[in-house]
Amino acid sequence: MTTANRQPEVTGVLSWFPLDLPLTQRVIALFVSKWIIGALRPLVQLKVPDLLSDGPRSAEEIAEATGTNADALFRVLRCTAAAGLLVEDSDGKFGLTPVAAGLGEGAPGGVRDMFLFASDPMMWRPYEDVLHTVRTGEPKFDQEFGMAFFDYLKQNPDSNTTFNRAMLQNRYPGSDRVLDSHDFSRYPRIADVGGGKGQFLAEVLKRHPGCTGVLCDQPQVVAEAAEVFEQAGVSDRVALAPTDFFESITPGCDAYLIKHTLHNWDDEKAAAILTRVREAIGDNPDARLFVIDMLLTEHGKWDIGKLVDVEMLIILGGRERDREEWNRIARAAGFEPSNDPAAGDLVLLEFRPV
Ligand SMILES: C[S@@+](CC[C@H](N)C(=O)[O-])C[C@H]1O[C@@H](n2cnc3c(N)ncnc32)[C@H](O)[C@@H]1O
């Protein structure tokens, strides 16, 4: 029986930690997240998972290969191994676990770029004073950097690259489930609004050889998309549409997908984007809007979306939404819901124009 089972009062994230702490001290278990991420980030920056792909190595060997301080490196390796992300053998050599292998450069299905983005200083610094956000309702990011998140990316090409590379790995199992469970073949021309470098649209087109696609995103993002479509073998079926989605969206498509994008914005701005989609649909009653985003569960239920929501609040001023909230912004833009997926995960919400 686990500690968590012996203490049924402990729910959510705290129940995942095996520390046998009294309940009044149990929040301490959360501190380890900072220590582990702090130890893991330099290892990923130094490409230690790649160095270990040929087999375990000692801290001294890794320090020599990476030009780092052997004692400091040993201690972050040991911490990372104690957390179960590396293996430390009886000779003191460190080897990969499957989790650490997923942090190697180009690891199939890996999340190195996602990890480097999520642990980047631009994503940490706003967390130093979340009280500002709680007092004002404003994203701390804007106060910290003097501008909104996407404006910051526009002005900082390295950060823009970090973000866009991370989005290429924005493939939760939920994304694959959505791809596998929806037949888009009855929509000959499919737009992906805020589609990044085309990562989701490329998968849709691969699965639906009769469809063509339009990638609508900011000019500096769309400019980097060609490679993604080439790799997927669908370049001949895609048009690139650099745009500001608050201004206009390519008209005349049969389906408009918008994935992991409306949650970046408050209700007013999300409804403005959907209004541009509605204008693009015009008087075609058969066209559909597909929102692919979290659907929050009711009060009191565990839901990872309720945690992601705080990141949206602090960094972007956006939000995750429940069914009523999605319906409200969709109706404001001229859409009616036409499906009813279960809440608690990434879902595909279908809307028809009215
Ligand atoms: C969180 S990413 C999601 C990317 C992609 N849909 C995915 O799921 O991986 C949000 C996208 O919105 C785009 N975006 C932000 N502001 C925009 C604007 N004003 N016009 C067009 N696209 C914008 C960003 O460039 C980014 O690619």
Span of 13-17, 57-61, 227-231, 246-250 with lowest mean pLDDT: 13-17
* Nearest of 113, 216, 47, 297 to residue 225 by alpha carbon: 216
Q: What is the mean pLDDT of residues 290-307?
A: 93
Residue of 203, 261, 262, 292 best suited for mutating to test ligand 1, as the one with most atoms within 8 Å of CB: 261
pLDDT class of 178 with cuts at 50, 70, 90: very high
Residue 15 has pLDDT above 70, yes or no: no
- Ligand 1: residues whose CB is within 6 Å? 150, 167, 170, 194-196, 199-200, 217-218, 221, 243-246, 259-261, 264
Q: What is the mean pLDDT of residues 255-282?
A: 98
Catalytic residue among 182, 208, 260, 263: 263
Residue 2 has pLDDT above 50, yes or no: no
Residue of 218, 240, 246, 275 best suited for mutating to test ligand 1, as the one with most atoms within 8 Å of CB: 218
pLDDT class of 31 with cuts at 50, 70, 90: confident
Residue 145 has pLDDT above 80, yes or no: yes
Domain ranges across the chain = 3-101, 112-167, 170-353
| pLDDT tens-digit series, residues 185-209 | 999 999 999 999 999 999 999 999 9
CATH classification for the domain delimited by 3-101, as one of 1.10.10.10, 3.90.1150.10, 1.10.357.10, 1.10.150.120: 1.10.10.10
Residue ID of nearest Cα to ligand 1 atom 10:
261
| Residue 224 tokens, joined | 């980097």
Catalytic residue flag (residue 263): yes
DSSP string over 104-128: STT-TT--HHHHHHHTSHHHHGGGG
Residue 270 has pLDDT above 90, yes or no: yes
What CATH homologous superfamily does 170-353 map to? Answer: Vaccinia Virus protein VP39 (3.40.50.150)
| Residue 18 tokens, joined | 């095996």
Mean pLDDT of all residues belonging to the chain: 93
Tell me how many helices (H) and strands (E) the chain has. Answer: 19, 10
